[in-house]
Amino acid sequence: MATSKKVTNVSTGESSTTSSNQPWQPTESAKSKSTQIRIFAAIAFVIAIGIEVGAIFLLQEKPVNMTWLIIMIVAILIFAVTGSILWKKANRIDPASEKNKFKFFVQNQLGMIIAVIAFVPLIILIITNKNMTGKQKGIAGGIAGAALIIAGLVGTDFNPPSVEQYTEQTAQVENLIGTNQVFWTPSGKSYHLYNECGYINGERTKEIFSGTVADARELKNITDICNRCENKAIKAKGSDLLEEVTDAVTE
């Protein structure tokens, strides 16, 4: 029985590459999209570092203009966070492989690395600055320290995507239902194999989205399959197999 909810397909219609012999690969349009997003993220990172350099020069003045210093710290935070959000989005579209541990770490934690580069030198220079009073150092250092924590947390990917994850999850879905199509809701934390699943057909659900496993990861960062749907698919697959065996025996 199909769902009565509105179902919106967000997939481009292109198929990503995955098989038992090959790892998952993004489509050409997905690669292009991730490249564009990474360019914007890189620009945001460069601007953040550029403002940091300006703030360092500002610290050499006597007296230090506290208003401009605080404005610069906030601006660094805004661009660092913006870059991190965009960079993580690009990583979900075109993830790195876990085979190269160093590259995998740098690509997924670049936002956190940029946060350290953008704020740690600045904090050190504020603390050791001879042109500022103790009170000024406390105010500016505290704001910069808080900005470092915020930018660092946003820039850190605590559940980084990988080619291996996408390969395994896509293969699991295709093995269960024969096609790479899943369903999810805007507030859901799992993707579903059936749009009529009771977990996504409650009164609060207004719209259901459908797409590939990679789409669910890109748009909602969903990594878990619905247990109810998985068990249903396993039972259905077992019934089909039993029917095939029965037909073979009777023939």
Burial class (CB in 10 A: 0-12, 13-18, 19+), 88: buried
Could you tell me if 190 and 224 are in contact, meaning their C-beta atoms sit under 8 angstroms apart?
yes
Burial class (CB in 10 A: 0-12, 13-18, 19+), 198: exposed
pLDDT in tens, the chain (251 residues): 677 888 999 986 555 555 556 789 998 999 999 999 999 999 999 999 999 999 999 999 989 999 999 999 999 999 999 999 999 999 999 999 999 999 999 999 999 999 999 999 999 999 999 989 999 999 999 999 999 999 999 999 999 999 999 999 999 999 999 999 999 998 888 999 999 999 999 888 889 999 999 999 999 999 899 999 999 999 988 765 445 434 433 45
Count the Cβ atoms, other than its own, within 10 Å of residue 247: 9
Look-up of token digits 């924590």: 149
SS3 162: strand
Backbone angles phi, psi at 161, to 5 degrees: -75, 155
pTM attached to this predicted model: 0.85
Residue closest to 37 by CA, chosen among 85, 90, 82:
90
Which H or E element spans position 212? none
Residue closest to 170 by CA, chosen among 160, 161, 179:
179
For the chain, the structural domain boundaries read 28-155, 163-250
